[in-house]
Amino acid sequence: MRLGKNAKVELIKRAPLFANCSKKELAEVASLADELDLPEGRSLIREGERGREFFVLLEGEAEVTKDGAPMATMQGGDFFGEIALVSDAPRTATVTATTPVRVLVVTDRAFRSLLEHSPQIQLKVLRALAERLAPTTL
């Protein structure tokens, strides 16, 4: 069963990158999200590679590894990869599906296009990034 717009909004708003966005703005981001079913064993993101997507894990489990060592297990509702939407920085970890998974995916290309047409969302995303980075830059 596919998610409705409101369910997508509720999941996406949990990502700190979108914390300052209104419900209408979140709906715009949610409209970019595709639902995908992926098999067990599929690498969703790979450490060191350039990121191109933001993911929300809807169903299933995925393992997070860094330098090959297990770091965490992700489950439904968890999200990852949001920095790839606004930065060309390499991925800091690998996330691999340990069961079949269903994910929401927003690509960097679609998101950047949205930002070009919506300065309000752009400003709020930049503010969220600055708040997130501020403690680490002092």
| Domain positions in the chain | 5-137
CA-to-CA separations, 122 to 37, 54, 87, 127, in angstroms, rounded: 30, 16, 13, 9
Strands 79-80 and 53-59, sheet pairing = antiparallel
In terms of C-beta density within 10 A (0-12 exposed, 13-18 middle, 19 or more buried), how is residue 104 classed?
buried
Q: Work out the average pLDDT over 67-79.
A: 93
Q: What is the pLDDT of residues 3-12, one digit of tens each?
A: 888 888 888 8
Q: Work out the average pLDDT over 80-107.
A: 90
Given the candidates 2.60.120.10, 1.10.10.60, 2.40.50.220, 3.40.50.2300, the CATH classification of the domain at 5-137 is 2.60.120.10
Which H or E run contains 55? strand 53-59
Q: Taking all residues of the chain, what is their mean pLDDT, rounded to a whole number?
A: 88
